[in-house]
DNA sequence: CTGAAAGCGCTAACAC
DNA sequence: GTGTTAGCGCTTTCAG
């Protein structure tokens, strides 16, 4: 049975209005060359029938779909979802639809089918919102298929050859460590994320560099690698506490692991922030309600999504106007430190520590 | 400049292979009526050129897009994102693409444009993944436009007229309260979510009913309404503690608010679980690392998304085969209690409490 | 087994 | 101003 659609076609509108389909087309596209009477008559029929032009047919003929492909990964985590939120609202605002694909694994390397599927649906551009993990960016500079559409990559190292939007994780780490130093902490450890993640490496580098520049020696015993999960944080802080007994503060790679550090302190009777200053990363909504409230680095992932959409649409529109293609550009968004109790040393204690020098 | 696509068309493949487009079509659709030699020749050209049929053109002619529309809201929260994760992976598995729209507000009531846009892109079905809040379901039974595609609604009250997939929130609350009773708690308060949310009302009802059935009187002073956020939880527990001093346990509408209750206990010197048993709802990843670890109700939101996709595809395929349309059905997924320390009373204390009877 | 013709719903390029 | 013709990339008859 050929399930006849209730949705009218342009042809039906045309015959109902007693004009050609072309005239209807002119009306729905708001072309000037239609007489006011005809326009009104057609518009009335359109309203009456609830006619809506087929975006599919339009895409086919215009060679333009006003659709963006979005490839994401890890929707079970809050970060990627926030970015996606920025993408959805901005795309909607600018009149684009979204075709969504989720990669089951962060480190999937066979990306060709994903691109193929998106291209088969004629997307005008692609936002690659999978974070850089391991070798999962090795293909960007020599894709087997030549992409006929622009791509913007999220959360990866700056690049000369492709467009990128990322948070400046290194900067965020620097803010965190500088703050701890300023508070008077002098033995600042670090629990990193998994080092195959670009973001984890950046945060580690920010910690290391800031300490180095402040004249402190950084030893391998001063940091431990976690895997973002709270459980790994629990393990990491135990190790770190053992191998770096002088440690008086710790910069933790994300808030989930920082939560475990708080719990560790609570269990072992360490006072936070007096005995141990703690700074996390991400500013998850719960962080303000940990005990004590957690100082952390806020990253605006919504903005990452927003900028990605704005940028890719700029590229698309430029190309469509036949102008010179815009050169790839990397946008690094600066994160901000959110200072709460977990790192706020009572002033006198801070001052005292300042007088004791050294590593 | 007419940006000529690098992607070959069926016509180019056909002429390169020296056959008609029709034959190419037969090859890509794996029709039997092509000679092995022809098939091979065509297939070779296809591989060589990297030809990929246009899903757009196919959708147009087949009147079927293998695309699902997904309408979500609140991607900044972890719940909707998890559901979306279930949707993406299941759709991918079953060979469907997803067109994603996010409603800026939960209680948006003007849904017609959203449907229109999706229909204009010829989606085969729609998953309405916005939770029921306020009057935002008032239109389901009398949509102004007649939908030519099936819709599955998520997270709303069971219905006879439309297909629904929801978590059984009432059941979840019952599990929580029954567990607290079993532990020996006798004065169980509740912090609800905002009552314009269907989920919040269900959880409230589950709490109330379970207590009632166990023979306890439920007073209005025994519960307070929150708004899901941790800050509201902090306010709520203070109020509740004042107006219900005998309270020895509290069932909290979600984990974020429960976190504030833990913090309140910590600050006021109440011991958890000895002086105050706590059970949350949602099982956010952090809950296991709160101090003490939080007993909570786990809801499998990923499964909600998965079932929604499976169900809508079943409906689509059935309709397409011209069979009787399947009747609307409501699927209620049972949540599960995850017992952790925050509600686990030392046995002797539990027993003692059991002997004291009453409200 | 293979090809020619028609058409999905729409619009660009011409006529009139 | 408005209609006609052609065609976007594909598939479905229907011949041969």
Reduce the DSSP state of residue A150 to 3 states and report it.
coil
Q: How many residues are there in chain A? A: 359
Give the model confidence (pLDDT) of A214-269 as tens digits.
999 999 999 999 999 999 999 999 999 999 999 999 999 999 999 999 999 999 99
Please tell me the distance from the alpha carbon of residue B151 to that of residue B70, in angstroms, as a whole number.
10
The correct answer on CATH 3.40.50.2300 for the domain covering A67-168+301-333 is yes
Closest approach of B47 to chain A, Cα-based (Å): 12
Tokens of B320: 């397409």
Q: Do A289 and B259 touch (CB under 8 A)?
A: yes
Beta A330-333 vs B163-167: how paired, if at all? unpaired
Residue nearest to nucleotide C11 (CA to C1'): A61
In this structure, what token pair is assigned to residue A154?
Answer: 């999220």
Torsion B34-B39-B41-B42 (CA) sign = positive
Q: pLDDT tens for chain A, 359 residues: list them.
A: 333 347 899 999 999 999 999 999 999 999 998 999 999 999 999 999 999 999 999 999 999 999 999 999 999 999 999 999 999 999 999 999 999 999 999 988 789 999 999 999 999 999 999 999 999 999 998 876 677 899 999 999 999 999 999 999 999 999 999 999 999 999 999 999 999 999 999 999 999 999 999 999 999 999 999 999 999 999 999 999 999 999 999 999 999 999 999 999 999 999 999 999 999 999 999 999 999 999 999 999 999 999 999 999 999 999 988 778 789 999 999 999 999 999 998 765 544 444 333 33
Q: Looking at CA atoms only, how far is residue A322 from chain B in angstroms?
A: 5
> What fold, for A169-299+336-354?
Rossmann fold (3.40.50)
Q: Do domains B10-53 and B169-299+336-354 have the same CATH topology?
A: no
Calculate the CA dihedral of residues A61, A67, A69, A73 and round it to 10 degrees: -150
Average the pLDDT over B68-82 and give the result: 95
User: Which nucleotide has the shortest C1'-to-CA distance from A38?
Assistant: D1
The CA radius of gyration of chain A, in Å to the nearest whole number, is: 27
Q: How far is A333 from chain B (nearest CA, A)?
A: 19
Which residue ranges make up each domain of chain A?
Answer: 10-53, 67-168+301-333, 169-299+336-354
Q: Is B106 exposed, middle or buried (0-12, 13-18, 19+ CB in 10 A)?
A: middle
Q: Per-residue pLDDT for B354 more than 60?
A: no
Q: Which nucleotides of D are covered by protein (CB under 7 A)?
A: 1-5, 7-13
Does B97 contact A76 at a Cβ distance shorter than 8 Å? no
Beta carbons of B99 and A104 less than 8 Å apart = no
Q: Which of A205, A204, A245, A253 lies closest to A221, judged by CA?
A: A245
3-state class (DSSP) for residue B153: strand
Strand partners, B167: B333
Answer yes or no: are the C-beta atoms of B321 and B104 closer than 8 Å: no
So what CATH class is A10-53?
mainly alpha
Residues 6+ apart with CB under 8 A from A335: A167, A168, A169, A171, A172, A175, A297, A298, A299, A300
Neighbours of A320 (CB within 10 A): 13
For residue B71, the chain A residue with the least C-alpha distance is: A88
> Does any CB of chain A come closer than 8 Å to the CB of residue B234?
yes
CA A76, A82, A83: angle at the middle one, nearest 5? 105
β partners of residue B252: B191
DSSP of B197-228: BHHHHHHHHHHHHHHHHTT----GGGEEE--S
């Amino acid at each position: 049975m050929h399930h006849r659609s209730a949705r009218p076609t342009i042809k039906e509108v045309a015959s109902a209005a007693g004009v050609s389909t072309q005239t209807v087309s002119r009306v729905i596209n708001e072309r000037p060359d239609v007489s006011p009477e005809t326009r009104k008559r057609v518009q009335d029929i359109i309203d009456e029938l609830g006619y809506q032009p087929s975006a599919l047919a339009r895409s086919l003929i215009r060679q333009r779909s006003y659709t963006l492909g979005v490839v994401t990964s890890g929707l079970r985590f809050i970060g990627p979802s926030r970015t996606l939120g920025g993408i959805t609202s901005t795309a909607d605002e600018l009149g684009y639809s979204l075709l969504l694909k989720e990669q089951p694994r962060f480190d999937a390397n066979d990306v060709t089918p994903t691109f193929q599927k998106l291209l088969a649906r004629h997307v005008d551009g692609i936002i690659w919102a999978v974070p850089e993990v391991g070798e999962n960016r090795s293909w960007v500079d020599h894709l087997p298929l030549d992409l006929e559409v622009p791509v913007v990559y999220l959360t990866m190292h700056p690049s000369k050859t492709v467009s990128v939007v990322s948070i400046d994780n290194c900067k965020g780490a620097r803010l965190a460590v500088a703050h701890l130093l300023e508070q008077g902490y002098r033995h600042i450890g670090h629990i990193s994320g998994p080092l195959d993640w670009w973001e984890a490496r950046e945060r580690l580098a920010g910690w290391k560099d800031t300490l180095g520049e402040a004249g402190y020696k950084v030893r391998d015993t001063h940091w431990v690698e976690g895997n973002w999960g709270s459980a790994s944080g629990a393990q990491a802080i135990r190790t770190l506490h053992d191998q770096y007994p002088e440690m008086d503060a710790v910069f933790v790679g994300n808030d989930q692991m920082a939560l475990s550090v708080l719990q560790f302190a609570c269990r072992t009777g360490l006072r936070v922030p007096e005995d141990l200053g703690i700074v996390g990363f991400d500013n998850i909504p719960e962080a303000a309600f940990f005990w004590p409230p957690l100082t952390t680095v806020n990253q605006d992932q919504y903005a990452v999504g927003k900028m990605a959409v704005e940028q890719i649409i700029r590229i698309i529109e430029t190309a469509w106007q036949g102008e010179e293609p815009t050169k790839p550009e990397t946008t690094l968004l600066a994160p901000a430190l959110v200072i709460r109790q977990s790192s706020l040393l009572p002033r006198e204690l801070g001052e005292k520590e300042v007088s004791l020098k050294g590593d």
